């Protein structure tokens, strides 16, 4: 008997017990026989019910006895049940069996994806998924790390300068840190029509941070913040040859975390075209594609005030991108993906204010990590305010080449090799030097690359599945925007090199344990002098350890 029929039988028997007057000729014996015959109720549970009836019958002297337990165990047939015992059985079954049966049926329906006859059609087009991750994070600093050399630009800009920010302007680089963090995500997707998908996702984390959904524990019991990082409409043609997305959606590019943090999502519009896909062959051996996207980064709309020396900017900040790629299958077990991507960040360069004015403050970015070259755009004369506001001193126009090779010819395992390289075509050292002044020397810092190797089981969802990853990364300070790259390497951002080693294993189905060690070091360090004026070795180094327990549903 199918699971769907089981559900119908339980529903019918429940109605029978609730309205016995409608089924006057159906006895409780009939009910037990049906439940046992159809495999819904085991013989052990039927026997237990019969034993209860037998005990009550023995207390009723005028009624004939029930079958013995041994007889019931063999056939679970009850030849005669008196009326008052029938009522007892109905009550017992209703209270002790039907609830359990309905619970089992509902649980199996959820696990096996049964359709519910008579339910609205949209019910079967909705998917709910998510995950919760608990993390221990340890940051360990060498004893010879320099202190007071990393500045928190977000706090400085919010306060109006280094002096105003005070102690908050500096980042700890000498004292080890230990903290607990949680990330929770809940996603709802729906297919309202053929080829159309609508999705939203709610997650924890700071709304002002585009590259982390972690909630750090230790806020004295205050409730956690949450926000939507996905809200999109996606359309795909039946063969998958054309795909259009709008809203806020997952990263559409073939990428690594060299340029984009794994928690980064994009808001705007995106189109993907796969010319060789067709209804007959949705996964061709040779699968080239082109992707185009336009993404607003910051909207700016300012009024012109009396006394403005310069007209304030009203040009929004945008990211425009194009990716030309291909996926080639050498065999069923061997696949190579290649992509060349162009990213153009429009309007992100900081612009100087007029003396003692703030009309161009909006050219400063609202979020920074560490690594990019910055300029102070809050100019003041000798008698004016000492306000400081830091903005990007370089433009960003990135050429990115990404490669991934997967081999699945092993019986249960998969091997992957990943390579990623980027260069900032708009980097101009002389132009940056003129913006930040002659007191600093600007080295060439426009290149980055990453090499990675993965090995483990093909699937990653069931007990015993495992995977290991080894990466080496070298990312110069102005190679990419530090605001959007990996938030865990070094202290987050660019101007960093080092290794990442990660291992993950599923403890049960959908519950995994992961260990990650990140060893990062500065590439270009600020000069630090001793008491005698000698330059000291001042590269900041950080070893970061993550222990993650994650459950998915």
Q: What percent of the chain has pLDDT over 70?
A: 76
Instruction: Please give the Cα distance from 45 to 43 (Å, whole number).
Output: 5
SS (H, E, C) 500-518: EEEEEEEEECCEEEEEEEE
d(CA 219, CA 206): 13
Query: Residues 267-282: what's their mean pLDDT?
Result: 88
As its CATH architecture, domain 130-552 has Beta Barrel (2.40)
Rounded distance, CA 7 to CA 26, Å?
Answer: 20
Angle between helix 83-93 and helix 43-58 axes, rounded to 10 deg: 140
Provide the 8-state DSSP code for 370.
B
The predicted structure's pLDDT at residue 373:
96
Q: Are 256 and 450 in contact (CB under 8 A)?
A: yes
Residue 204: is its pLDDT beyond 80?
yes
Give Cβ neighbours of residue 451 (< 8 Å, ≥ 6 apart). Answer: 418, 419, 471, 472
Tell me the mean pLDDT in the region 501-514: 97
What pLDDT is recorded for position 91?
A: 59
Quick: pLDDT tens for 205-229: 888 899 999 999 998 989 998 999 9
Position with higher pLDDT, 530 vs 50: 50
65 pLDDT exceeds 80?
Answer: no
Average pLDDT over residues 468-479: 98
Report residue 40's pLDDT band, with 50, 70 and 90 as the boundaries: low
From the CB of residue 316, how many other CB atoms can be counted at a distance below 10 Å? Answer: 14
Q: For residue 106, what pLDDT is reported? A: 56
Position 253 pLDDT exceeds 80: yes
Whether the pLDDT of residue 36 is over 90: the answer is: no
Q: Where does 361-510 show beta strands of DSSP type E? A: 374-376, 390-392, 396-407, 413-424, 447-457, 466-475, 496-508
CA distance linking residue 328 with residue 343, whole number of Å: 24
Q: If we measure between CA atoms, which residue out of 86, 1, 79, 60 comes closest to residue 35?
A: 1
Higher pLDDT, 501 or 386: 501
Position 23 confidence tier, pLDDT thresholds 50, 70, 90:
very low
Domain layout of the chain by residue ranges: 3-118, 130-552
How confident is the prediction for the chain on average, in pLDDT? 85
- pLDDT at 76 (0 to 100): 47
Q: How far apart are CA 255 and CA 266, in angstroms?
A: 13
Lowest mean pLDDT among 118-122, 137-141, 264-268, 275-279: 118-122
Q: Which DSSP symbol is given to 223?
A: P
- Given a cut of 70, is residue 290 above it in pLDDT? yes
Residue 530 has pLDDT above 50, yes or no: yes
> Would the pLDDT of 261 be above 80?
yes
- Beta strands (DSSP E) in 68-169 are 126-140
Q: Cα(517)–Cα(401) distance, rounded to whole angstroms?
A: 26
pLDDT band at 307 (very low <50, low <70, confident <90, very high): confident
| 92 has a pLDDT exceeding 80 | no
Residue 478 has pLDDT above 80, yes or no: yes
Residue 18 has pLDDT above 50, yes or no: no
In this model, does residue 66 exceed pLDDT 60? no
CB contact set of 464 (below 8 Å; sequence gap of 6+)? 457, 505, 506
pLDDT for 431 beyond 80: yes
Question: What pLDDT, in 10s, does the model give residues 380-420?
Answer: 766 556 789 999 999 999 999 999 999 999 989 999 999 99
More confident residue, 484 or 65: 484
Q: How confident is the model at residue 48 (pLDDT cuts 50, 70, 90)?
A: confident
273-290 average pLDDT score:
84
The average pLDDT across 358-380 equals 93
CB 150 within 8 A of CB 171: yes
Q: In this predicted model, which residue has the larger pLDDT, 11 or 435?
A: 435
Of the pLDDT bands very low, low, confident and very high (cuts 50, 70, 90), residue 495 is very high
pLDDT above 60: residue 71:
no
pLDDT digits (tens, 9 = 90+) for 108-147: 555 555 555 556 666 778 999 999 999 999 999 999 899 8
């Amino acid at each position: 008997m199918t699971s769907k029929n089981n559900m119908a039988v339980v529903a019918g028997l429940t109605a029978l017990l609730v309205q016995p007057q409608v089924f006057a000729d159906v006895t409780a014996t009939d009910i037990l026989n049906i439940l046992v015959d159809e495999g819904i109720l085991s013989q052990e549970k039927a026997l237990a019910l019969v034993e209860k009836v037998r005990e009550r019958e023995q207390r009723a002297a005028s009624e004939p006895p029930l079958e013995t337990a041994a007889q019931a165990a063999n056939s679970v047939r009850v030849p005669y049940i008196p009326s008052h015992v029938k009522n007892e059985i109905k009550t017992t079954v209703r209270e002790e069996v039907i609830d359990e049966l309905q619970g089992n049926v509902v649980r199996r329906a959820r696990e096996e994806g049964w359709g519910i006859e008579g339910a609205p059609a949209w019910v079967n087009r909705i998917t709910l998924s998510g995950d919760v991750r608990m993390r221990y994070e340890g940051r360990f600093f060498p004893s010879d790390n320099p202190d007071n050399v990393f500045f928190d630009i977000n706090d400085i800009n919010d306060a109006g300068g280094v002096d105003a920010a005070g102690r908050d302007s500096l980042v700890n680089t000498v004292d080890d840190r230990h903290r607990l963090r949680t990330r929770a995500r809940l996603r709802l997707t729906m297919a309202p029509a053929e080829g159309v998908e609508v999705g939203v996702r709610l997650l924890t984390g700071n709304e002002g941070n585009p590259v982390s959904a972690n909630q750090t524990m230790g806020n004295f019991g205050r409730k956690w913040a949450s926000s939507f990082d996905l809200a999109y409409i996606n359309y795909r043609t039946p063969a998958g040859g054309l795909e259009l997305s709008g809203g806020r959606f997952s990263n559409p590019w073939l990428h690594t975390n060299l340029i984009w943090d794994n928690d980064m999502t994009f808001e705007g519009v995106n189109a993907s075209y796969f010319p060789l896909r067709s209804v007959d062959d949705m996964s061709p051996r040779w699968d080239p594609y082109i992707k185009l996207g336009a993404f607003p980064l910051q909207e700016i709309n300012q009024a012109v005030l009396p006394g403005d020396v310069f007209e304030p900017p009203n040009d929004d900040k945008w990211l425009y991108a194009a990716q030309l790629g291909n996926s080639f299958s050498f065999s069923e077990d061997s696949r190579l993906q290649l992509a060349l991507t162009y990213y153009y960040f429009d309007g992100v360069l900081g612009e100087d204010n007029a003396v003692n004015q703030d009309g161009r403050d909006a050219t400063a970015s609202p979020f920074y990590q560490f690594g990019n070259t910055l300029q102070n755009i809050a100019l003041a004369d000798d008698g004016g305010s000492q306000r400081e506001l830091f903005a990007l001193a370089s433009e960003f126009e990135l050429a990115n080449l990404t490669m991934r090779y997967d081999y699945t010819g092993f019986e249960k395992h998969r091997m992957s090799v990943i390579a990623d390289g980027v260069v900032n075509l708009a980097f101009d050292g002389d132009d940056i030097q003129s913006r930040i002044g002659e007191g600093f020397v600007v080295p060439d810092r426009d290149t980055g690359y990453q090499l990675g190797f993965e090995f483990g089981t093909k699937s990653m969802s069931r007990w015993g599945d495992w995977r290991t990853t080894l990466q080496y990364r070298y990312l110069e300070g102005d190679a990419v925007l530090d605001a959007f790259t990996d938030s865990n390497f070094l202290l987050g951002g660019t101007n960093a090199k080092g290794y990442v080693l990660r291992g993950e294993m599923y403890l049960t189905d959908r519950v995994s344990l992961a260990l990650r060690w990140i060893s990062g070091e500065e590439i270009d360090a600020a000069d630090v002098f001793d008491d005698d004026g000698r330059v000291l070795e001042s590269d900041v180094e950080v070893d970061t350890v993550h222990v993650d327990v994650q459950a998915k549903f």
